[in-house]
């Protein structure tokens, strides 16, 4: 689900962080520390907490997706887009988008079994990416 940006609802620092995430494009996943460094190059006085709060607000508005992937040291952020899964290399940490979503029927069945309302599902895969797998074979 993507939301429409209402410029009046965001401070200049929030808009800056949103612009940086947008510029990365769909499929580019950045940890908070990298987003902070990019923001500092454009606005040297911006604080780490300000960038973190901006990302939280953008996530809550549905403009940015926050990814908590198993084995990662921190969350990754990407521009909100169509639903998809993620693959994280356990060796180099690279994250790729995967064209996959759980079928609605599966979520509905699980919701029924739990007696709960399932509002979404995050799917993540992990293993070794092609480059890491190839490098270990060659050595």
Domain map (residue ranges) of the chain: 1-81, 83-139
Look at residue 5 in the predicted model and tell me its pLDDT: 54
Residue 8 above 60 pLDDT? Answer: no
**pLDDT at 106 > cutoff 90:** yes
Q: Tell whether domain 83-139 is in CATH 3.20.20.140.
A: no
Stronger pLDDT, 116 or 120, i.e. the higher one = 116
Topology (CATH level 3) of domain 1-81:
Arc Repressor Mutant, subunit A (1.10.10)
Cα→Cα distances 91→9, 77, 95, 98, 99, Å: 40, 20, 11, 18, 22
pLDDT digits (tens, 9 = 90+) for 86-105: 999 999 999 999 999 899 99
Structure tokens at 17: 């962080």
Buried b vs exposed e over 104-118: b needs ≥16 C-beta within 10 Å? eeeeeeeeeeeeeee
Q: 56-70, pLDDT tens digit by residue?
A: 999 999 999 999 888
CA distance 28 to 49: 22
Give the chain's length.
Answer: 139
């Amino acid at each position: 689900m993507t939301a429409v940006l209402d410029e009046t609802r965001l401070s200049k620092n929030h808009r800056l962080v949103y612009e940086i995430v947008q510029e990365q494009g769909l499929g580019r996943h950045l940890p908070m520390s990298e987003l902070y460094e990019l923001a500092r190059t454009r606005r040297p006085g911006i604080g780490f907490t300000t960038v973190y709060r901006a990302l939280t607000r953008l996530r809550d508005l549905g403009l940015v997706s926050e990814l908590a992937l198993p084995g990662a040291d921190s969350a990754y952020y990407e521009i909100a887009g169509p639903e998809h899964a993620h693959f994280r290399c356990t060796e180099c940490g690279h994250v790729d988008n995967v064209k996959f979503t759980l079928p609605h029927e599966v979520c509905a069945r699980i919701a029924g079994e739990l007696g709960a309302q399932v509002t979404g599902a995050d799917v993540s895969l992990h293993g070794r990416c092609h480059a890491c797998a190839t490098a270990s074979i060659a050595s």
